Amino acid sequence: MKRSKTSKGWMMEHVNDPWVQKAKADGLRSRAAYKLLEINEKDRLLKPGMVVVDLGAAPGSWCQVAARRVQPGGLLLALDLLPIEPLPGVTFLQGDFREDDVLAEFEKLLDGRRVDLVLSDMAPNISGVSTSDDGRMMHLAELALDFSTNHLRPGGSMLIKLFQGAGYMEYRQAMQKQFGVVHARKPQASRDRSAEVYLLGLDHRPLSR
């Protein structure tokens, strides 16, 4: 199949992206690593001994950042539909987070431990149709928030990628009900034209049931 001008343009932009080039030079799996590094530098999320969950982990760049910082004594569990090459200190499960049996298997890895930090860089395959993309993104985000509701310890944190589109403000309000503070973060490594933004929830307050 002949490549479209759009796909060729994206590839040229990607190859020439200074963050992509820097990631290769630094031995990181993708430019996304710098997004987490910047947010962690500002908010001090990752600490030794923490239990951290990385949802949507492929290709593993956030795992590379987090695994180093939760040791000694920490635990990093990662999940993605796509495979990732093994990384030291990372327990990885390949599967679809939207499927109940995969989620149940992933929960078994926790073995009853409460989570200190949930990371989610998940995103659907982008179609270019904003209403469709926003809806699928929100579905993933709602699943991640539900996971956090069930597994974060009191006082824990959640960092999640969203698109600034339909449902964004409602989602932020839902986070504000569960976290003492919610910040929006737009790291420098995010492309300017991208609608992505990261919401950071601090001081998890479990909902009364």
Catalytic residues: 161
Q: Is 60 annotated as a binding residue?
A: yes
Q: Is 96 annotated as a binding residue?
A: yes
**Contacts (Cβ under 8 Å, ≥6 apart) of 121:** 32, 35, 36, 54, 55, 56, 57, 62, 161
CB 162 within 8 A of CB 198: yes
Strand order in the sheet with 152-163: 90-94, 75-80, 51-55, 115-120, 152-163, 196-204, 179-185
DSSP annotation of 120 reads E
First to last CA, the chain: 53
Tokens of 173: 């309000």
- Taking the CA atoms of residue 96, residue 197, residue 179 and residue 137 in that order, the dihedral angle to the nearest 10 degrees is -30
Q: Is 62 annotated as a binding residue?
A: yes
Task: Give the whole-angstrom CA distance, residue 180 versus residue 34.
Answer: 26
DSSP annotation of 38 reads H
- Residues annotated within a binding site for S-adenosyl-L-methionine: 60, 62, 80, 96, 121
- Residues annotated within a binding site: 60, 62, 80, 96, 121
